[in-house]
Structure 1
Amino acid sequence: MELQPIFSPPSSVGNACFRMRHQICMSMNHHMCKSDARNRVFLRLQSEYSFKISRGSIYCSNFSENNPTTPSISETTDAKVIYSVAPAMGHNKESHPECNSRVPAIMDALEKVELTSKFRGSEVIELQSLRPASVDDIASVHAKAYVSGLEKVMDQASEKGLIFIDGSGPTYATPTTFQESLLAAGAGTSLVDSVVAASKVSHNPPVGFALIRPPGHHAVPKGPMGFCVFGNVAIAARYAQRAHGLKRVFIIDFDVHHGNGTNDAFYDDPDIFFLSTHQDGSYPGTGKIDQVGRGAGEGATLNLPLPGGSGDIAMRTVFDEVIAPCAQRFKPDIILVSAGYDGHVLDPLASLQYTTGTYYMLASSIKQLAKDLCGGRCVFFLEGGYNLTSLSYSVADSFRAFLGEPSLAADFDDPAILYDEPSKMVKQAIQKIKHIHSL
């Protein structure tokens, strides 16, 4: 792991930190406390386990295998959405697109349109004070040398304020990155626990949404990449198999960039189907249409690069003609979603033209797909999305889709900024992928 130190400290989190209602509570092993600087970061860690239900929220502290963080059956009876919030407020770099304002912006929007536990009671549950992922959880996807190496460089990050942990430069670390990345991954596995538990007593379990960062789908088994530290959705897939016996996992990645880390983790695995739609030619340049898996996993990877300018019509067609038929044929036990909102027309890092309505359609359609195929078991994981306004309102509209309520996209989207989609090129790509995968 190549390290490139930066000698200026990370920027202040500003008022965003105080807007967050989420309280990070992590259990710490003695080996995580190797310096006074790191100890100071975690002075408020708690060590006693308890549950407290307040306005639809679930609080817990100190996590062990004997004390899972899942809500009780009665708490999820009426729930339609269960979400976790791990904002990684200490993992921040000034002027970086993947900054610590992202999750607070989403929470502000959810509050504004009254979609949080406070306003929705038993319909919307917030799972708080989350169980961090264990090192073994991370090592189910990533090399142990990478995991231990990242933990060790936290002392260097404490000394220098901020370092780069990816040789190409875009992925940084601060003194809290290791612990906050464990928490992000744990927020996902905790939701898997909750959704699976609810599915055992209800045909309509809540959809899970992990509002987490750092994102994960670029992180390769050997290390970090492209803003991503640990592969959150990949870790959750292995966890679903190991902890719950859900053998067949279907992963949908609609981030504007190819989820190369998830792709690589399961490229030879026939039991995890990875399907990525992404902008053709965008970072990191992987995800070619003929990359379909290897060995026993051949056919269990589907990459569909879409031309720049693809929008709502393209994605609706892709869902109907590619995503749904693949899932129906695969017959998954659970659906996991790398939910990147950086394909929005307002997002600065790409040139697709999805709208808030596109994401409402995807959320509604994927929820129905899970209900039809795998008992409603479905968890979304936040990936990209760097225009804070389009990100936050698109996530809010996804929540409305989960709740079965009408979209508010018309109040936000401006059709005047859209242009004609490259329909011919989209059709050609879809026809090619259907031929390759015999759809």
Structure 2
Amino acid sequence: MGQLWGPSLPILGGRILPMLQRYCVFGSYHPLTRRRLHINGKQQKLNRHWIAYSSASDNETSTSDIHGGRKDLDLPDSLLHDARILYCASPAMGHNKESHPESNKRVPAIVDALEKLELTPKHRGSQVLEIQSFHPSSHDDVARVHSRSYITGLEKAMSRASDEGLIFIEGTGPTYATQTTFQESLLSAGAGITLVDSVVAASKLGPNPPLGFALVRPPGHHAVPEGPMGFCVFGNIAVAARYAQHQHGLKRVMIIDFDVHHGNGTCDAFYDDPDIFFLSTHQLGSYPGTGKIHQVGQGNGEGTTLNLPLPGGAGDYAMRCAFDEIIAPAAQRFKPDIILVSAGYDAHALDPLAGLQFTTGTFYMLAASIRQLAAELCGSRCVFFLEGGYNLQSLSSSVADTFRAFLGEPSLAAQFDDPAMLYEEPARKIRDAIDKARVLHSL
């Protein structure tokens, strides 16, 4: 197995140059594409590929921390103010099983597409900022969602994975681990935390903070509090939700999950919590069989879980109706302080693991609509988290179009979507599901 890649701070001849004491842009090779990055002495001129990393002194912080936790990121206000998109890429290159759909090719395919379509900092200057160096999540952060016994058990299993090369860590499913899985999963959760910090800091500088996107794997929304499930190791979005509450005092968190599969792990973590609204659209009858429409939360959390199972064949029409009639009204009533999104792209018509027929345009519509919803309700505080998506072509083009939606630019879906691949949606079944959810939740 190759050595686990992890971001590190640059060493500049053993010293930090005076002009770079607080914030640094440095020359290195991007871990995914090997392209050369450059140093530019004037940090205000954001015309190259910029990378931010944490180098905060004891007296310099830009992220709110109401409980005295560590500062993982300290970006200059000028960077945060100008950016429209902040993203982190955590490809987990060592976490890989040959021929497995959740492979280490997924994030590199997305990064390559962003570069090809000129959506990276290299091409967009101050509009797009990649935060490349970030800390792994702490055990304490993960333990707000997962049991300590699971965390320590997985860490101990790494020695076995090192000996055997690859092990399965879910008794009834295809969730695997290699010797790097534990640390890479912490790093992916840490990417989400870093983006929450950054988006919250930016929201204090003006009315239009950037949106965040955590391009991370392994995915997280199936991981239950007691263990892994469905390709997922740690609940990246759930960890970020608890962090937003604990570190930033953002009490009311809305999680929108449009992965084709029900986010059962996220649902379980917050099923009785009145301050986290979990809303999932997913294919009826798909893995893992949870997410029934009548499951609405329990105890104090009754009413803050909304499941909308969609019939096979549902596509763009279904999601436009679902957003207008379910997602937006539920969010407007809940009044979140931040919106987090489990962005799964496996509902695409070309994806091999399900039977919905979303297109690149569907995902553009969702991203643009959620962006507008966040602007109206929570000061544009919003972070997307990569979940599923296993056709590399449809995954990468759909994430790229999500970026275009964030930037307020026209969709390029017509370049990627072939209308001939689509068939008529089951409109009657879609209407029945949406009407039932509206009545059940008094929308």
TM normalised by structure 1 equals 0.89
Distance 1:240 1:70 in 2: 17
Q: Residue type of the partner of 2:393?
A: T
Asked if residue 260 in structure 1 is aligned to residue 267 in structure 2, the reply is: no
Distance 2:70 2:107 in 1: 30
* Aligned pairs (5 A) from 1:23-422: 24-25=6-7, 51-53=23-25, 55-60=48-53, 65-422=69-426
CA displacement, residues 129-188 of structure 1 (integer Å, 9 cap, x when unaligned): 111100000000000000000000100000000000000131000000000000000000
Q: Residue type of the partner of 1:57?
A: W
Distance 1:67 1:264 in 2: 29
RMSD: 1.8
Q: Residue type of the partner of 1:288?
A: K
- Deviation of 1:59 (Å): 3.5
Distance 1:295 1:138 in 2: 24
- Deviation of 1:56 (Å): 4.7
Q: Secondary structure at the match of 2:274?
A: coil
Distance 2:333 2:346 in 1: 29
Matched-pair contact (CA < 8 Å) for 1:276–1:302: yes
Distance 1:160 1:316 in 2: 47
For residues 252 and 222 of structure 1, do their structure 2 counterparts lie closer, same or farther at Cα, with a shift above 3 Å needed?
same
Distance 1:164 1:60 in 2: 34
Q: Residue type of the partner of 1:408?
A: L
Q: Which moved more, 1:330-339 or 1:169-178?
A: 169-178
- Deviation of 1:26 (Å): 6.5
Distance 1:61 1:251 in 2: 27
For residues 235 and 396 of structure 1, do their structure 2 counterparts lie closer, same or farther at Cα, with a shift above 3 Å needed?
same
**Any stretches of 5+ residues in structure 2 without a counterpart?**
10-15, 26-38, 40-47, 58-68
Distance 1:438 1:66 in 2: 42
- Deviation of 1:68 (Å): 2.6
Distance 2:70 2:260 in 1: 39
Distance 1:60 1:271 in 2: 32
**Any stretches of 5+ residues in structure 1 without a counterpart?**
1-9, 18-22, 28-47
Distance 1:263 1:305 in 2: 14
Aligned to 1:42: none
Matched-pair contact (CA < 8 Å) for 1:63–1:131: no
CA displacement, residues 290-345 of structure 1 (integer Å, 9 cap, x when unaligned): 00000000000000000000000100000000000000000000000000000000
Q: Secondary structure at the match of 2:230?
A: coil
CA displacement, residues 256-310 of structure 1 (integer Å, 9 cap, x when unaligned): 0000000000000000000000000000000000000000000000000000000
For residues 212 and 379 of structure 1, do their structure 2 counterparts lie closer, same or farther at Cα, with a shift above 3 Å needed?
same
May I ask how many residue pairs the two structures share in their alignment?
401
Q: Secondary structure at the match of 1:365?
A: helix
For residues 228 and 62 of structure 1, do their structure 2 counterparts lie closer, same or farther at Cα, with a shift above 3 Å needed?
farther
Aligned to 1:38: none
Distance 1:209 1:193 in 2: 13
- Deviation of 1:72 (Å): 1.9
Matched-pair contact (CA < 8 Å) for 1:58–1:71: no
Q: Which moved more, 1:51-60 or 1:77-86?
A: 51-60
Matched-pair contact (CA < 8 Å) for 1:61–1:129: yes
Q: Secondary structure at the match of 2:137?
A: coil
Percent identical across equivalent pairs? 70
Q: Secondary structure at the match of 1:58?
A: coil
Distance 2:180 2:355 in 1: 33
Distance 1:296 1:66 in 2: 32
- Deviation of 1:69 (Å): 1.4
For residues 75 and 208 of structure 1, do their structure 2 counterparts lie closer, same or farther at Cα, with a shift above 3 Å needed?
same
Q: Secondary structure at the match of 1:121?
A: helix
